[in-house]
Amino acid sequence: MPSMKAPKGTRDILPPETSAWQRVEKAFSSVAARFGYAEIRLPTFEHTELFQRGVGDTTDIVQKEMYTFLDKGGRSLSLRPEGTAGVVRAYVENGMPSLPTPVKLFYLITAFRYENVQKGRYREFHQFGAEAFGAAGPAIDAEMIGLLSVFFEEMGLKRTGLRINSIGCPVCRASYNDLLRDSLRPHLAEICGLCNDRFERNPLRILDCKEPKCRPFIEGAPAQLDHLCPDCAAHFEGMKGELDRLGIAYAVDRGIVRGLDYYTRTVFEFVSENVGTQGTICGGGRYDGLVEACGGPATPGIGFALGVERLLMELAAQGVVNPPLEPPTLFVAAVDDTSGQEARRICHQLRRAGVPAEADWNGRSLKAQMKAANRLGARYAVVIGSDETTTGRAKLKNMKDGTERDVALDRLAEEIR
């Protein structure tokens, strides 16, 4: 018999938890709009080549974690493992390089990676993200970090720290890769097979390896930050100056490289400093060659991604209370089946007028209906019988203090606002 359970690494999000999701989605959209970012919506799957070229075929995501399949036409497609590559594809395909710069976009997506399931980490997961195209200077880097800073502040998230680094550009990366190979070459027999594979193809990816036996050699390797070309060094200093002027505290972390091949220059992470939940909450960086790699004109870009599950877990750990489900303003009770029809009609009209309202749908007794009104947390209740239907008037009961007043049924919306 087929399994009737959700697949491993997926889960149902049920009320009242959905109210917490709605809260963070609304807040992120609001902050992004204030910073001039417009929402983009993307396909759930793309041609596999997009992620191979965009994310990088030496990354763990492409090598180990993508859900890839052939469609009925024999084309290789993949469920998106992240958002940036799809945004870049849309940016190029839809002629957005011709728009005034910077072009600033944000998204709220589901994404998919085949990886070990653990607390806060799923195979189907959710991300907030933002991307900005066409601004080469460090000011846009600081603006994007500022967006996240404001969002966390408005969510009530405290005890977070900003970590920044620079991983250079193709000019200084080439010479740094030689230094990195020289440092790691004596230890090739001791590091993992995947790091050996990356040694010639993309040694920078070795720095992202989590294998314990590789960490001592990685930590002893030279840092890219110490070997930047003059332009990259000036960009990094400029970004630090911008953050200083915005009043955003940061620490330089030479170990940040991020897990995707497209990053250049600026990389950053917001990490939790809360006891028991230390770890990365979100991260991002600059990718000045990605648009060109995806078939567009040479265009500077920067973006970030924020895991929603990780964010909600952090909010809960820091004691940030989510609002409860909003109760109905009015419960319309009925004394019998005939007046129940009128009660449901009134309920519908109230909802059309913008008033959250509920009625009975199960033919329960009046006593059971009033218990239901209390259980739902309704602020007011009215009881509809034949007299109320005839006269068009009823007693409006305040469920908190028990007081009642006579009201016209066709003015209920005005009476309870």
- CATH of span 330-416: 3.40.50.800
Which of 82, 68, 64 lies closest to 193 in space, CA to CA?
A: 64
Q: Which residues contact 365 (CB under 8 A, 6 or more apart)?
A: none
Residue 2 pLDDT: 62
* Cβ(83)–Cβ(46) below 8 Å: no
Q: Tell me: the pLDDT tens digits for 344-379?
A: 999 999 999 999 999 999 999 999 999 999 999 999
pLDDT for residue 273: 83
How far does Cα 221 stand from its chain's mean position? 33
Nearest to 281 by CA among 309, 261, 254: 309
Give the C-alpha separation, 257 to 198, whole Å: 15
Q: What tokens were used for 20?
A: 């917490």
Distance separating alpha carbons of residues 130 and 84, to the nearest angstrom: 8
Domain residue spans in the chain? 17-169+229-317, 330-416
* CATH fold of 17-169+229-317: BirA Bifunctional Protein; domain 2 (3.30.930)
Beta strands 357-359 and 330-334, pairing class: parallel
Q: State the burial class of residue 226 (Cβ atoms within 10 Å of its Cβ: 0-12, 13-18, 19+).
A: exposed
Query: And the tokens for 169?
Result: 């550009």
Q: Which two tokens stand for residue 133?
A: 């195209």
Sign of CA dihedral 386, 391, 397, 403: negative
Q: Rounded to 5 degrees, what are φ and ψ at 356?
A: -65, 120
Residue pair 150/31 in contact by the 8 Å Cβ criterion = yes
pLDDT band at 3 (very low <50, low <70, confident <90, very high): low
**pLDDT for residue 112:** 95
List CB contacts of 298: < 8 A, sequence separation 6 or more.
289, 291, 292
Both tokens of 134, joined, read 């066409």
Per-residue tokens: 382: 């009215």
Using alpha carbons, select from 292, 280, 388, 255 the residue that is nearest to residue 88: 292
- Residues 370 and 388 sit within 8 Å (Cβ to Cβ): no
| 37: Cα separation from own chain's centroid | 15
CA–CA separation, 169 vs 258, rounded Å? Answer: 14
Match 């990780």 to its residue by tokens.
310
Q: Name the phi and psi angles at 284, rounded to 5.
A: -170, -165
How far is residue 130's CA from residue 104's CA, in Å, rounded to a whole number?
Answer: 7
CA distances from 24 to 18, 30, 87, 155, 367 (A): 10, 10, 22, 7, 38
Residue type at 210 in one-letter notation: K
Q: Rounded distance, CA 79 to CA 110, Å? A: 10
**What pLDDT does 375 receive?**
93
d(CA 270, CA 283): 6
Q: Read off the pLDDT band of 277 (50, 70, 90).
A: low
Place of tokens 């491993």: 8
Q: Are 259 and 63 in contact (CB under 8 A)?
A: no
Which residue type does 271 have?
Answer: V
Lowest mean pLDDT among 201-205, 227-231, 245-249: 201-205
In 3D space, the residue among 307, 247, 319 whose CA is nearest the CA of residue 279 turns out to be 307
Q: Is the peptide bond before 102 cis (omega within 30 degrees of 0)?
A: yes
192, amino acid identity: C
The whole-angstrom separation of Cα 384 and Cα 343 is: 6
Inform me whether the pLDDT recorded for 230 exceeds 80. yes
Confidence of residue 231 (pLDDT cuts 50, 70, 90): very high
Question: pLDDT tens, 190-224?
Answer: 889 888 888 888 888 787 787 888 888 888 888 88
Per the prediction, the chain carries an average pLDDT of: 91
Residue pLDDT, tens place only, 26-35: 999 999 999 9
